[in-house]
Chain A
Amino acid sequence: GENVEQHPSTLSVQEGDSAVIKCTYSDSASNYFPWYKQELGKRPQLIIDIRSNVGEKKDQRIAVTLNKTAKHFSLHITETQPEDSAVYFCAATLMNRDDKIIFGKGTRLHILP
């Protein structure tokens, strides 16, 4: 089955700087890679996703890149702001198989003033 590794587990970044969170996956057949953000005491919410037929996707200050050969994908947040402080989860799945979305262990991002 799929296994998703996520690094780092904790990341502190000065406000205005960029943050990068990296994930690797084990199942080369996986074709859908979402990222979820969970603020303190709240539910996880989708912030961006990428499918295996695309190498990069951007939405304002957030971008995700995918390297299918290396089975790596990364989340990039530029010009970080205090409201970016949260736990971020990467995930991977093979759509049209069993609808099982497997999450990484999460990265706690702290934005320092």
Chain B
Amino acid sequence: DTAVSQTPKYLVTQMGNDKSIKCEQNLGHDTMYWYKQDSKKFLKIMFSYNNKELIINETVPNRFSPKSPDKAHLNLHINSLELGDSAVYFCASSQRLALSTGELFFGEGSRLTVL
């Protein structure tokens, strides 16, 4: 039973294309996140949703659009892909930090390569 699952695991695409990454969690958590990990391994928060509501939106280009159809799913759509978008994108979930242990549960990551 995978707690946080992302698809696809690997994505290779050309510059200018549009792609989506899907994430689902079966932990019953209220909050879901997208983190970007670049080639230097920096983990940078991009977005956070709580019960389908956007609560964190870092300075991310508006080519990136998250969508949360329900609290168990958080998808990431990227338009007009650029070389600098190449990275590993991690989905994560947690209960509201104030109400929980604070632990983030990460998915396995989706490695995006833009050619």
Contacts and interface: CB of A to CB of B under 8 A. Distances in A.
A103 to B, nearest CB: 4
B41 A87 contact: yes
Per DSSP, chain B at the interface is mixed
A96 interface: yes
- Contact-size category for A: 20 to 34
Contacts, number: 62
A93 B33 CA distance: 15
A32 B90 contact: no
Contacts of A89: 43
Interface of B: 31, 40-45, 48, 50, 55-56, 90, 94, 96-98, 101-104, 106-109
Interface in A56-112: 87, 89, 93, 95-96, 98-103, 105-106, 108
A41 to B, nearest CB: 9
B104 A95 contact: no
Interface in A28-77: 32, 34, 36, 38, 42-46, 49
A108 to B, nearest CB: 7
B41 A99 contact: no
